[in-house]
Amino acid sequence: MSSNGNHPIKGRQRILYAEELWRWQRFYAGLLIVVGVLAVGVVVYSRQPINNGNIIWLFYAPVGLLLAAAFMVYRWRSFVEPLDSGLKVSTLFSNIVIDYESIRGVKVQPLSVAFQEKRRTKVARIYKSLLDKPALFVRIRGDDDELALIKKKLGSRLFYDDTIAMPVPDADAASWEITSRLPYRLGQNQGGGRRRKRRR
């Protein structure tokens, strides 16, 4: 069982930044669609001619649908997944697969650990509810160029210093799954205060 009382989630897990954005913005996308449909219905029912005064209503519903579609694509594209070839981290516009040999540590900590001091300004208001929740922290081994490439791919919200910090639904399960694939199974904090017992 995972630390949240549910069955542990294996494999791909959503990065919750996209989930929070969808939760906050879906109302406005839906509102645009509803207002647009109603306004067009009124124009058609009253047989008003299309002119500069009412043509804008024709765009409300399509814009709302486009926004909703964009949020859904963002949710679909934002995930972390342990693969046989490495740890895959995907964002809206890019993704990267990190070799397990390049992972130097895995921890489960509150997301707020990743946003101390100056980085606090990188937390948008809609994401502040995630700060006290468990997140997956993956430290990466690499030179400056390799770390710079990861930061370019993932962005500064997910990556800082040498660490990828990701809020996910079950950080404990993700930590255990990644750790089980590491070449030497280094002694990381695997989340929830659980550690592997040494064989006697």
pLDDT digits 0-9 by tens, 27-78: 777 777 888 788 777 766 777 666 666 677 677 788 888 888 888 898 999 9
| Four-point Cα dihedral 67, 69, 70, 76, nearest 10 | 150
Residues 6+ apart with CB under 8 A from 132: 110, 111, 112
Tokens 């040494």 correspond to 198
| 169 and 150 within one domain | yes
Strand ranges for 66-133 from DSSP E: 79-82, 87-90, 95-98, 103-110
Adjacent-strand bridge partners of 96: 89
Please state, in angstroms and rounded to a whole number, the distance separating the CA atoms of residues 104 and 98.
11
Question: How long is the chain?
Answer: 200
Is residue 200 in some structural domain? no
Give the pLDDT of residue 60: 75
| 170 and 103 within one domain | yes
Please state, in angstroms and rounded to a whole number, the distance separating the CA atoms of residues 87 and 15.
14
Give the pLDDT of residue 49: 66
Is residue 193 in some structural domain? no
Adjacent-strand bridge partners of 107: 137
Range of the domain at 132: 82-179
Q: Which DSSP letter does residue 46 get?
A: T
Please state, in angstroms and rounded to a whole number, the distance separating the CA atoms of residues 193 and 175.
12
| 87 and 46 within one domain | no
On the question of pLDDT at 186 being above 70, the answer is no
Q: Domains in the chain: how many in total?
A: 2
Give the pLDDT of residue 199: 40
pLDDT in tens, 108-130: 999 999 988 777 776 777 888 89
| 152 and 100 within one domain | yes
Is residue 3 in some structural domain? no
pTM: 0.76
The residue-averaged pLDDT of 157-182 equals 93
Is residue 114 in some structural domain? yes
Strand ranges for 99-171 from DSSP E: 103-110, 134-140, 159-160, 163-167
| 170 and 110 within one domain | yes
Please state, in angstroms and rounded to a whole number, the distance separating the CA atoms of residues 13 and 11.
6
